């Protein structure tokens, strides 16, 4: 049983963060000695406000430069690791490492439909011009987009995303269309109506399990974490201080004392 679990996890896309340090104004906000993310389909990264969760995700994506340390991405199936902390942020998606909120800036310029199409065209195995030039490729991609739009309706898919909820949903769908191997989600459901949130999370869980996508999710809505995660990392004061099964983490006195027992602000 234990051996099977080890074999399965070795095949998953995962990240290793080693000796990673980030300071702001002389204050260390992230200091992670050795952390592996992605050995399970869905992993939660939780901790109080200011613990360093967002900073760590941005360091992984290289949208924030590390002061020290490195991040290595293992694409899965025993393939060799790639040191991603020396690559530019825009190279991440082509490696299969994708984070929400990365490409949120063009909502005013692109319609919902166009941004989804562009995400499909940008993914690793597609050469961008083919999606427009080849009918077969176009049809395959537009069918996939239509399926998403049926499941997650927008007020007007040929118009612009207007509400915060629509922008959030569009961002998630674009990330899924990029066909990530490892997907980082930073508070993905904040601002989404409860029914949409549940369907989004079910879709993500299904992708993780059925398509071997490793998902790491930061979320203050702990129902999402307890329901969906297979494993949880608890972060406090810049470091991951506990790791384990959700049920174990939930009961742990450190988590209760530093996080659950105190008022925290979800946003």
Ligand X SMILES: Nc1ncnc2c1ncn2[C@@H]1O[C@H](COP(=O)(O)OP(=O)(O)OP(=O)(O)O)[C@@H](O)[C@H]1O
The string of DSSP letters for 65-101 reads --SEEEEEEE-STTPPPEEGGGS-GGGHHHHTEEETT
Q: Taking CB under 5 A as the criterion, which residues in 25-54 touch Mg ion?
A: 54
Helices (H), 152-193: 164-177
**Residue 161 contact partner, candidates ligand X, Mg ion, none, CB within 5 to 8 A by sort of partner:** none
User: Tokens for 122?
Assistant: 């940008």
**Residue 157 contact partner, candidates ligand X, Mg ion, none, CB within 5 to 8 A by sort of partner:** none
User: Tokens for 224?
Assistant: 């999402």
CA–CA gap between residue 57 and residue 55 (Å, rounded): 5
Does the protein bind ligand X through residue 29 (CB under 6 A)? yes
Does the protein bind ligand X through residue 24 (CB under 6 A)? yes
Q: Taking CB under 6 A as the criterion, which residues in 31-60 touch ligand X?
A: 47, 49-55
Does the protein bind ligand X through residue 239 (CB under 6 A)? no
Residue 24 vs 132, nearer CB to ligand X: 24
Other CB atoms within a 10 A radius of the CB of residue 37 amount to 25
Does the protein bind ligand X through residue 23 (CB under 6 A)? no
Residue 29 vs 95, nearer CB to ligand X: 29
CA–CA gap between residue 30 and residue 83 (Å, rounded): 19
First-to-final CA distance of the chain: 39
Does the protein bind ligand X through residue 123 (CB under 6 A)? no
Which spans of this chain sit near Mg ion (rule: CB under 5 A)?
A: 54
Residues contributing to the site for ligand X (CB under 6 A)? 24, 29, 47, 49-55
């Amino acid at each position: 049983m234990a051996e099977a679990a080890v074999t399965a996890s070795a095949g998953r896309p995962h990240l290793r963060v080693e000796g990673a340090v980030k300071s702001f104004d002389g204050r260390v906000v992230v200091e992670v000695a050795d952390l592996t993310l992605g050995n399970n389909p869905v992993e939660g990264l939780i901790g109080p406000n200011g613990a360093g969760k967002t900073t760590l995700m941005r360091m992984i994506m290289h949208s924030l430069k590390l002061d020290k340390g490195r991040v290595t991405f293992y694409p899965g199936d025993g393939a060799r690791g790639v040191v991603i902390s020396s690559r530019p942020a825009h190279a991440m998606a082509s490696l299969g490492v994708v984070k929400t909120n990365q490409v949120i800036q063009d909502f005013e310029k692109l319609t919902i439909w166009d941004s989804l199409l562009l995400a499909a065209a940008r993914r690793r195995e597609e050469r961008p011009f083919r999606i427009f030039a080849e009918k077969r490729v176009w049809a395959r991609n537009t069918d996939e987009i239509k399926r998403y739009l049926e499941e997650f309706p927008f007020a007007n898919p040929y118009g612009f995303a207007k509400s915060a909820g629509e922008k959030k949903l569009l961002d998630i769908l674009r990330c899924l269309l990029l066909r990530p191997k490892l997907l980082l989600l930073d508070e993905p459901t904040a601002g989404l109506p409860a029914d949409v949130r549940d369907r989004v999370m079910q879709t993500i869980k299904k992708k993780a399990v059925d398509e071997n996508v490793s998902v790491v999710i930061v979320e203050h809505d702990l129902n999402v974490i307890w329901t969906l995660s297979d494993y949880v990392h608890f972060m406090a004061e810049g470091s991951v201080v506990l790791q384990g099964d959700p049920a174990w983490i939930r009961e742990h006195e450190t988590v209760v004392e530093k996080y659950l027992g105190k008022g925290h602000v979800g946003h």
